[in-house]
Amino acid sequence: MSKMRYVILRMQDQLHFVEMPADYAYQLSALNRRLHKEIDKLTASNVPMLPYAVAECEELDFVDPQYSTISGLDYINELERTFASINEQSYPLISLLTEIRALQAQLEQWYEELEDSFR
């Protein structure tokens, strides 16, 4: 099995644990920082709140059963749907969607290659 990393995201008092292929975890953290840097430039009324990437780790053992991991692809798919629904056609949004979709395509390819390796 391929090595995974976990990106820990915090939104207010909630934690989210996103399981990413190790080679792509840093990209998710960097994308998160970029989204936070640019989101204030959006003027639409439906701009989403975003969690903050607070840590990355290679191993994760939950001691509290209320927590679980989120697939990196599921997370990025939801992020893409959220940003695609913003009612704005300005540069920051188009640029951000391009970055989200680039990581989305890389993850889709990674998971396809993983499936192919099991056949």
**Closest to 104 in 3D by CA, of 83, 82, 68, 74:** 74
pLDDT tens figures, 40-76 = 888 888 889 999 999 999 999 999 999 999 999 999 9
Instruction: Output the CA torsion sign for 103, 108, 113, 115.
Output: positive
Q: What is the pLDDT of residue 1?
A: 53
* pLDDT over 70 percentage in the chain: 98
Mean residue pLDDT of the chain comes to 93
Which structural domain range is residue 74 located in?
4-117
CB 44 within 8 A of CB 86: yes
pLDDT at 80 over 70: yes
pLDDT tens figures, 18-35 = 999 999 999 999 999 999
Q: What does 29-98 look like in DSSP terms, one character per residue?
A: HHHHHHHHHHGGG---TTPPP-PEEEEEES----SSTT--EEEHHHHHHHHHHHHHTS---SHHHHHHHH
Count of domains forming the chain: 1
